[in-house]
A = this chain, B = another copy of it.
Amino acid sequence: MSDQTQRRDANEISKSILQTTESLFSKYGVENVSMHQIAKAANVGQGTMYRRYANKGELCLELMSENFHCLQVKTLQSLAELKSKPVKERMLALLKLHLNFLEKHAQLFETIHSFITCTNNAKPFYEKAPYIFFHQTICSLLEEASEKKEARPINADFTAHTLIASMNPKIYNFLRQKSGYSAKEVIENFNKTLLEPLFIEKR
């Protein structure tokens, strides 16, 4: 090749890998692209790939990191804006943001989830930054609701985990594609089934 990229060009290489990945993914679909393929297309050895991204899931996660960050910012903004509203309303806003995100990045998200969930040696998804942030956010909302007697007395930590579990990409895609629910219906049903019942009606 013309340009030998080394030490100093580490950033260039990273960018090149990510760009190549993105292009191959959109061309052939996430599932049909192998790490070797990417390495070859990006003019990089497998070793280099794997030193940077321990597995395909990590690579996808990196690809998504910008999106995750964006979601996180939006979430914090939205919650700040609604600060004075009841917790129930804020939870619904959070749900909507998250499910819209899922809808938008369905395929990539499912791949990430699969690889990270299924690879034995990989750090479990529960220890990844996006999960922790989401869990924390839900947790503090639920705790606030408990304190203010807006919600039933529940274990916030536990509830947050199960809520997230019921919104995982696999089940989401299944509901959307196989069961035929529209994106809007999914949000509505989640709200009716999992959120509203947690809160106490005021009159």
- Please give the residue numbers on chain A whose beta carbons come within 8 Å of chain B beta carbons, in ascending order: 31, 114-115, 117-118, 120, 124, 126, 152, 154-155, 157-159, 161-163, 165-168, 170-171, 174-175, 178-179, 181, 189-190, 192-194, 196-198
Contact = CB atoms under 8 A, between A and B. Distances in A.
Main secondary structure of the interface of A (DSSP, over half): helix
A124 B114 CA distance: 13
A171 B165 contact: yes
Nearest to A194: B162
Contacts of A197: 152, 197-198
Which of A118, A157, A178 has the most B CB atoms < 10 Å from its CB?
A: A118
A158 B174 contact: no
B118 A118 contact: yes
A167 B165 CA distance: 8
